[in-house]
């Protein structure tokens, strides 16, 4: 008990004045770390690293935020899949149209000015005939 009394007599007090705004700021920071303003100021003055206390409630809030984020993520994934399907469908349609255009461009040189087709030359172009069959003509 004698040691406790001698330790108390060896302690020194430092006082300093703060504006209301400064005190409010220290009070908020100390509450975030679950300390009293005096204890927080002492640790800061001594240069001790102060880490905020993690509460169980904050973890629950984080889980709620993660749940919302996961929900948004799932919606985004669903939307992305829908866009990918639409893109693939449009690409397939475009490829089909491109084949038709290329086939018609290949056929044009065989069309005479009167609208008839030069069958002698046309029948030699096996690629054109295959493309026309593929398109159902």
Task: Report if residue 86 sits inside a domain.
Answer: no
Average pLDDT over residues 69-90: 90
Quick count: other Cβ atoms within 10 Å of Cβ 16? 7
Average pLDDT over residues 2-7: 58
**What pLDDT is stored for residue 11 in this prediction?**
82
- CA 132 to chain CA centroid, Å, is 47
Task: Report if residue 19 sits inside a domain.
Answer: yes
Task: Report if residue 89 sits inside a domain.
Answer: no
Lowest mean pLDDT among 37-41, 56-60, 63-67, 96-100: 56-60
Residue 65 has pLDDT above 80, yes or no: no
SS3 content of the chain, % helix, strand, coil (to 5): 75, 0, 25
Q: Which domain holds residue 50?
A: 13-56
Domain C-terminal end among 40, 56, 72: 56
Q: What percent of the chain has pLDDT over 90?
A: 18
Task: Report if residue 84 sits inside a domain.
Answer: no
pLDDT digits (tens, 9 = 90+) for 20-59: 999 999 898 888 888 899 888 888 888 887 777 665 555 5
Degrees (nearest 5) of the Cα angle 29, 17, 28? 15
Task: Report if residue 7 sits inside a domain.
Answer: no
Beta strands in the chain (DSSP E): none
Average pLDDT over residues 94-107: 90
Lowest mean pLDDT among 4-13, 67-76, 80-89, 97-106: 4-13
**What pLDDT is stored for residue 89 in this prediction?**
95
How far is residue 16's CA from residue 25's CA, in Å, rounded to a whole number? 15
Task: Report if residue 124 sits inside a domain.
Answer: yes
Burial of 40 per CB tally in 10 Å (0-12, 13-18, 19+): buried
Task: Report if residue 125 sits inside a domain.
Answer: yes
Task: Report if residue 101 sits inside a domain.
Answer: yes
Residue 81 has pLDDT above 90, yes or no: yes
Residue 125 has pLDDT above 70, yes or no: yes
Please count the structural domains in the chain: 2
């Amino acid at each position: 008990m004698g040691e406790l009394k001698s330790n108390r007599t060896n302690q020194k007090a430092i006082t300093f004045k703060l504006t209301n705004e400064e005190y409010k700021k220290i009070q908020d920071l100390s509450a975030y770390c679950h300390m009293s303003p005096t204890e927080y100021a002492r640790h800061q003055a001594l240069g001790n690293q102060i880490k905020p206390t993690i509460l169980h409630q904050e973890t629950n809030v984080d889980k709620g935020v993660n749940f919302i984020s996961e929900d948004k993520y799932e919606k985004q994934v669903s939307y992305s899949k829908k866009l990918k399907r639409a893109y693939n469908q449009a690409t397939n349609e475009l490829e089909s149209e491109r084949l038709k255009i290329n086939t018609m461009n290949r056929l044009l040189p065989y069309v005479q000015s009167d609208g008839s087709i030069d069958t002698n030359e046309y029948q030699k172009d096996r690629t054109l005939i295959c493309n026309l069959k593929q398109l159902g003509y």
